[in-house]
Amino acid sequence: MELGNPALARTDNSEPQVRQDEVCGLIRVAEVTKTYLMGKRRVEALRGVDLRISEPGFYGIMGPSGSGKSTLLHLMAGLDRPDTGTIEVAGSRIDSMNESELTLFRRRKIGIVFQQYNLISTLNALDNVTLPGMLDGMRPGERNERGLRLLKSLGLAERATHRPDALSGGEQQRVAIARALLFEPAVLFADEPTGNLDSATGQQVWRLLKQLAHDRRMTVVMVTHEPSAAAHCRRVFVIRDGVFQSTVEMNGSTDAPELALGAQLAGR
């Protein structure tokens, strides 16, 4: 079966143990670099990035196109490896994991949501949500029960048997979010999750992510271009040319957070 979501791909059949004891939303990124080779050209996508998140909450990453946001998110989600530096997420040092450990880490310890919803077009909403459980050997009764509960909590109970092409963009993204929550991860990464949606629907999606962070005490890290969404984050990391330019504490302050953020983004 072709899996559009690299997070769901199985790399081999071995089942190494990922530590199950730590269920915390900690993120520690230290001195991470990543260079891509484009023919003979070297692209330094990340040039020494440090990021620390010690408490659950709703966090944002902003920066111009090409500044390294997706690269950083992919590294923190275990989809790729850094060239140098260390990355610890949800109690696991992922930079030293092998491929099969990373596969289990991605499936069980974190959730990932992309701009493209990456749903399987031939599966209905419920089967899309439960697919990671099937790949993990979760019993059908349990995974269907979990999947239905999640769809219901995201307002999609009536959509469980619909295939993606019968769902709106906002509904598809909520199905993708439900799928990301199947293993009740402590950390959820979202790379421009509202990028394909109109602004009203996009707002529903990022508000949902914020609510999940609060209600489930999760760490949600979202890359976004929307200052109005970023203004609702606890903290926003601003990246430029592969390094963090600044960190803006929002802390739910009503003291014109969008203005403060605007000044940071403008490099002032």
Binder of residue 159, out of Mg ion, ligand ADP, none (CB less than 5 to 8 A by kind): none
CB of residue 149 to Mg ion, shortest distance in Å = 32
Please report, as residue ranges, which positions from 57 to 96 form the binding site for ligand ADP (by CB under 6 A). Answer: 63, 65-71
Does 43 contact ligand ADP by CB under 6 A?
yes
Asked if residue 194 binds ligand ADP (CB under 6 A), the reply is: no
CB 105 within 8 A of CB 22: no
* 232 torsion bin: left (phi>0), alpha (psi -120 to 50), beta (else): alpha
Report if residue 124 touches ligand ADP, rule: CB under 6 A.
no
Residue type, 91: G
How many Cα atoms are found within 13 Å in the side-chain-facing hemisphere of 171? 19
DSSP for 99-160, written as a single string: HHHHHHIIIIIEEEE-SS----TTS-HHHHHHHHHHHTT--HHHHHHHHHHHHHHTT-GGGT
User: For Mg ion, which is the closer residue by CB, 70 or 173?
Assistant: 70
Please report whether residue 118 would count as binding ligand ADP according to CB under 6 A.
no
Q: Which of 70, 92, 103, 128 binds Mg ion (CB under 5 A)?
A: 70
Stretch near ligand ADP under the rule CB under 6 A, chosen from 15-23, 25-33, 35-43, 172-180 = 35-43
Q: Is 91 helix (H, G, I), strand (E, B) or coil?
A: coil
Q: Report the nearest approach of ligand ADP to the CB of residue 67 (Å).
A: 4
Phi, psi (degrees; rounded to nearest 5) at 208 = -60, -45
| Residue nearest Mg ion, CB atom distance | 70
Query: Does residue 216 contact residue 224 with C-beta atoms inside 8 Å?
Result: no
Nearest Cα to Cα of residue 5 among 146, 207, 182, 153: 182
Query: Looking at beta carbons only, is 62 or 90 nearer to ligand ADP?
Result: 62
Residue 128 binds Mg ion, judged by CB under 5 A: no
Q: How far is the CB of 206 from Mg ion (least distance, A)?
A: 16
Token digits for 48?
A: 């020494």
Q: Which is nearer to ligand ADP, 123 or 243 (CB)?
A: 243
The answer to whether residue 47 forms part of the interface with ligand ADP (CB under 6 A) is no
| Residue ranges that bind ligand ADP, judged by CB under 6 A | 36, 38, 43, 45, 63, 65-71
